[in-house]
Amino acid sequence: MSSITIRKTGITKLMADAVVNAANTELLQGGGVCGYIFNDAGVAEMTEACNRIGYCNEGSAVITPGFKLPAKYVIHAVGPRYIDGNQGEPKLLYSAYKQSLLLAKENNLHSIGFPLISAGIFGYPVDKAWRKALQACNDFINSNPDYDIDIVFAVIDDKVKAIGEGILKTFS
């Protein structure tokens, strides 16, 4: 049976089939979650794998090996930069989660760890980011009743975690 949980942990520590990188369109090592994933996976290996792919559109996702991470794979999902919420950001953020989950299913992965995509340096308001993230994950589970997947959100901030847990309860 599929599930969605929120844990206070670093995403690079998750024991999951895949973890999701909050990536940029050029798939370059960035700051925040992206920087930690590249560092812990192995900068040279991850950079080479991402360079082979080359580019990923906002709202899309691509997959690479996890290299030195506990996760077998890294799904690089590109969320939008938040401007004002009226430039298609909600649709793009929803799509980044949906495409990540579809890639997981295509690769027969049954556990996935997400950060809160776009809520860091891309400036997406935390409560709005949680609503889109949890809506996309809940919709995926409901649309794929015969596919079991454990979805874990890895957050390191208590306030961000509490906001997510409050919103998650509205989906139960």
The per-residue pLDDT for 23 is: 97
* Res 172: pLDDT: 66
pLDDT of residue 171: 83
pTM of the entire predicted model: 0.97
In whole angstroms, give the CA distance from residue 134 to residue 132: 6
Q: What's the pLDDT at 137?
A: 98
Q: 132 with 35: CB under 8 angstroms?
A: no
Plot region of 34 (φ>0 → left; ψ -120 to 50 → alpha; else → beta): alpha
Tens of pLDDT, residue by residue, the chain (172 residues): 899 999 999 999 999 999 999 999 999 998 889 999 999 999 999 999 999 999 999 999 999 999 999 999 999 999 999 999 999 999 999 999 999 999 999 999 999 999 999 999 899 999 999 999 999 999 999 999 999 999 999 999 999 999 999 999 998 6
Query: Quick one: which of 17, 33, 21, 9 has its CA closest to 107?
Result: 17
